Amino acid sequence: DSTNSNNNNNNNTASASSGSNNIPFLLADIGEGIAEVELMQWFVQEGDHVQQFDRVCEVQSDKATVEITSRYDGIVVSLEHKVGDMVPV
């Protein structure tokens, strides 16, 4: 399992492959003053093909619950956090 739930300093949420390059997928800044969010659910699995604007995950801060979408076309190579993890933004 390439999921890593013990590395809470890892800003990568997932990695995607686009051609021959792996691209780390970083959480977008979802609001002023929010340093970390809780990962509520994944909409993708390792090996899934994604396109720009496909839903990747849902996160929750103390202010809002937000669906994060892909900025890339590619294949999900790994999920770096588990549901319930606190993830830095």
What pLDDT digit, counting tens, does each position of 25-78 carry?
Answer: 877 777 778 889 999 999 999 999 999 999 999 999 988 899 999 998 999 999
Between the alpha carbon of residue 49 and those of residues 11, 52, 64, the distances in Å are 22, 10, 28
Q: Give the predicted TM-score (pTM) of the model.
A: 0.75
Q: Which has more pLDDT, 44 or 10?
A: 44
Residue type, 34: I
pLDDT value at position 79?
Answer: 93
Cβ atoms of 68 and 44 closer than 8 Å = no
